[in-house]
């Protein structure tokens, strides 16, 4: 899942590109495991495995059953599942997260991170978001949440002991102290938090104390990480989590974005997972550079198997990188009823609807191409690049016609149409990232929508500015997802392929 080729002694950063925010990591022996937020998408909380902190393989989604993850049709985009913490303790993996749309804070456990994970343990006495877990020497489990508040819990039952209490408020004047993580390292307990908001002022600060519940003294060099006020190519750096390698070295996984275009800069892939080295000076962490290329860790790299370009939908279940909106009823989405095809049965009438039948994957490259072979003989559907219900570009086929559609805020426009012969059609979307912009008004990328002719030539229908599918325009916490949908009737897809294209230089 690397975003660029490795060269010499450097490796690409982000280590998990695309919409993979709020990373939390733990190590068991020589194996690393990492979880991310998933918001309104189902299944929820993607889980990755690595042997080197650089190459990550998606091994599943922790919340893959409706009984674990309730996202009702009215769940707004950028609601749902926030900021998991992943830990290993006493032979078991623990995952705690917040469903801000239903149920509040929930805890899950398993002996195998690839699943299945347990049913949720509700935590009614734990308030706030971004919950963390830490165990002290006598086995007491401490849960710390944004704010920053803390309470002792029984992780098996969800029982809390005593009321939550404030343990640190972060840097005076800095907004949104959140994403707390508590660690015992050497003689101290360290409390790592994000603050400043998850936009351009995001940062990471830390405090330490002699006991897990404080009192805590802040690091005199806070924030220990921020790119605020810089022109560095990676921005919004924050929401970090620390992990120690088998050789004793320390590392931080964190989120960041890669803005493109002119002013103010637009990021379109969402918040991505980056890696940074950490050293220690006077018992305080010093975080190294967060850049698109970073020095390789001091151990052998273990490349992951490359993700296949094409999915022919030959398996009885969808691969774990496929996600849907809020739920995925068997009656509306299947690969088993018509082997070798993905069959989608419409619910919502278009990608404008919160209950549209949709199967997509995260866009992970600034420049890429996505294609699908669609049979619209029994319905209307196509290919969409989605940020939310109010911000998406579609290439849609129905009744002998293909049309390019742009939804930008309150406006929905059919940009172009073209007649088509009957039968299956290959739909195509390409994104081309903008090189160094010619002026301050340049957008981040261009999206080209069209259809492939029977002789293999490409018929372009629309060429659209990518800024309108960016977080800076749409708001929210997610990134682009590219996928297939059904708007009316039943629509079948024979295959879908996704491949990166050459990125701009300079």
Quote the distance between the C-alpha of residue 217 and its chain's center: 32
Task: List % helix, strand, coil for the chain (3-state, nearest 5).
Answer: 0, 50, 50
Cα–Cα distance measured from residue 450 to residue 453, given in angstroms and rounded to the nearest whole number: 10
Which residue has tokens 């490796």?
11
Count Cβ atoms within 10 A of the Cβ of residue 233 and give its class: 0-12 exposed, 13-18 middle, 19 or more buried. middle
- Active site includes 138? no
Which residue has tokens 């990166």?
500
Cβ atoms within 10 Å, residue 194: 31
H/E stretch holding 316 reads none
Of 229, 235, 230, residue with least CA distance to 269: 235
Cα–Cα distance measured from residue 395 to residue 406, given in angstroms and rounded to the nearest whole number: 9
- Work out whether the CA dihedral 5, 45, 257, 353 comes out positive or negative: positive
β-pairing verdict for 160-166 and 178-185: unpaired
CA angle 383, 328, 26 (to 5 degrees): 100
- Active site includes 22? yes
b/e per residue 455-491 (b: at least 16 CB within 10 A) = eeeeeebbebbbbbbbbbbbebbbbbbbbbbbbbebb
Instruction: Tell me whether the omega of the peptide bond preceding residue 116 falls within 30 degrees of 0, making it cis.
Output: yes
**Encoding tokens for residue 293?**
């290329």
Quote the distance between the C-alpha of residue 172 and its chain's center: 30
β-pairing verdict for 481-500 and 310-311: antiparallel
Which residue has tokens 């999915």?
311
Catalytic choice (178, 195, 272, 375)? 178
Q: H helices within 361-400, ranges in order?
A: none
Dihedrals φ, ψ of 473, to 5°? -95, -50
Active site (catalytic) residues:
22, 178
């Amino acid at each position: 899942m690397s975003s660029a080729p490795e060269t010499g002694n450097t490796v690409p950063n982000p280590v998990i590109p695309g919409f993979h925010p709020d990373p939390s990591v733990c190590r068991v022996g020589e194996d690393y495991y990492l979880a991310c937020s998933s918001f309104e998408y189902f299944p929820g909380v993607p889980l990755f495995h690595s042997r080197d902190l650089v190459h990550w393989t998606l091994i599943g989604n922790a919340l893959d059953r409706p009984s674990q993850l309730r996202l009702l049709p009215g769940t707004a985009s950028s609601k749902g599942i926030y900021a998991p913490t992943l830990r290993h303790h006493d032979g078991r993996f623990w995952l705690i997260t917040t469903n801000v749309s239903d149920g509040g804070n929930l805890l899950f456990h398993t002996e195998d991170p690839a699943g299945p994970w347990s049913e949720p343990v509700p935590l009614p006495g734990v308030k706030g978001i971004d919950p963390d877990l830490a165990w002290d020497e006598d086995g007491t489990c401490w849960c710390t949440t944004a704010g920053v508040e803390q309470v002792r819990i029984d992780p098996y039952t969800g029982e809390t002991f005593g009321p939550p209490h404030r343990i640190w408020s972060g840097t005076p004047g800095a907004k949104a102290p959140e994403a707390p993580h508590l660690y015992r390292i050497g003689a101290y307990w360290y409390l790592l938090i994000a603050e400043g908001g998850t936009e351009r002022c995001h940062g990471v600060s830390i405090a330490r104390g002699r006991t897990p519940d404080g009192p805590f003294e802040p690091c005199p060099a806070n924030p220990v990480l921020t790119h605020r006020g810089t022109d560095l190519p990676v921005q919004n750096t924050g929401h970090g989590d620390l992990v120690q390698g088998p050789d004793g070295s320390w590392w931080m996984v964190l989120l960041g974005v890669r803005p493109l275009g002119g002013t103010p800069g637009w990021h379109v892939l969402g918040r991505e997972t980056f890696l940074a080295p950490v050293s220690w000076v006077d018992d305080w962490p010093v975080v190294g550079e967060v850049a698109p290329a970073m020095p390789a860790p001091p151990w052998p790299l273990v490349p992951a198997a490359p993700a296949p370009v094409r999915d022919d939908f030959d398996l009885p279940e969808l691969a774990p990188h496929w996600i849907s909106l809020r739920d995925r009823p068997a009656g509306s989405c299947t690969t088993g009823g018509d082997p070798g095809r993905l069959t989608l049965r419409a619910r919502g009438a278009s990608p404008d609807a919160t209950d549209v039948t949709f199967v997509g994957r995260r866009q992970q490259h600034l420049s890429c191409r996505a294609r699908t072979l669609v049979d619209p003989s029994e319905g209307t559907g196509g290919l969409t690049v989605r940020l939310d219900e109010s911000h998406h570009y579609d290439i849609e086929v129905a009744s002998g016609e293909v049309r390019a559609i742009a939804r930008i805020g309150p406006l929905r426009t059919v940009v172009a149409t073209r007649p088509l012969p009957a039968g299956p059609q290959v739909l195509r979307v390409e994104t081309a990232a903008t090189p160094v912009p010619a002026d301050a008004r340049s957008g981040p990328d261009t999206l080209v929508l069209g259809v492939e002719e029977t002789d293999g030539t490409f018929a372009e229908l629309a060429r659209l500015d990518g800024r309108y599918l960016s977080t800076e325009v749409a708001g929210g916490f997610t990134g682009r997802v590219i996928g297939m949908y059904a708007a009316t009737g039943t629509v079948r897809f024979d295959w879908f392929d996704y491949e990166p294209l050459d990125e701009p230089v300079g």
